[in-house]
Amino acid sequence: MRSLLKFATAIDAISEFFGAIANYVVVLVILVGFYNVVARYIGRLIGVTLASNTYIELQWYLFSVIFFLGFGYILKHGVNVRVDFLYTRFGPQGRAWIDLLGTVLFLIPFCLIGLYVTYSPVLRSWVTWEMSSDAGGLPRAPIKSFIILAFVLLLLQSIAQVIKYVAVLRGDPEVTQTLYAEEAALPATE
């Protein structure tokens, strides 16, 4: 189990790395958006077109990259949206069962289907060097490739989470504390 946990830790490091990149991309989105606004108003003021679709599409693409790079990071930190009101009533073992079943039955198949469905369109986009239909638009192949990267990162982090859930179910106190820190101190209500 220790070697599997080391593998999960390596995947966690990958998710942290791409999550950190996503944080820097947020700054880029803000800078490009600021340029778009300033260029539009200054251009209007002086009667020259300073803004273009290129910068607008770049802002959209960068905004998408934030999410694509952050999926695994979000899963690792457990900040994804939860709507299960029963989940909060369970202790770490009960939550680990719910998380394990949800990940194995839904999240991992979703990632695999996503990879299967997106592979051909992304490859076709590279082969034809698909361009945006907007004047001055950007090529679409690079941003479409991020869809595959997002599914790979989410799949890897899903596998890491499964390993950690199994460790919790096997009674590993360190992993339990890491995954369910606030709940570990509370008595289980299972």
Q: How far apart are CA 28 and CA 20, in angstroms?
A: 13
Instruction: Output the pLDDT for position 76.
Output: 93
**pLDDT tens-digit series, residues 5-24:** 999 999 999 999 999 999 99
Q: How big is the CA angle at 107 (ends 156 and 82), to the nearest 5 degrees? A: 110
Q: What is the band of 181 on the pLDDT scale with cuts at 50, 70, 90? A: confident
**pLDDT tens-digit series, residues 52-61:** 889 999 999 9
> DSSP secondary structure string, 51-94?
--HHHHHHHHHHHHHHHHHHHHHHHHHT-S----TTGGGS-HHH
Task: Please state the pTM of the whole predicted model.
Answer: 0.86
Return the DSSP state at 131.
Answer: B
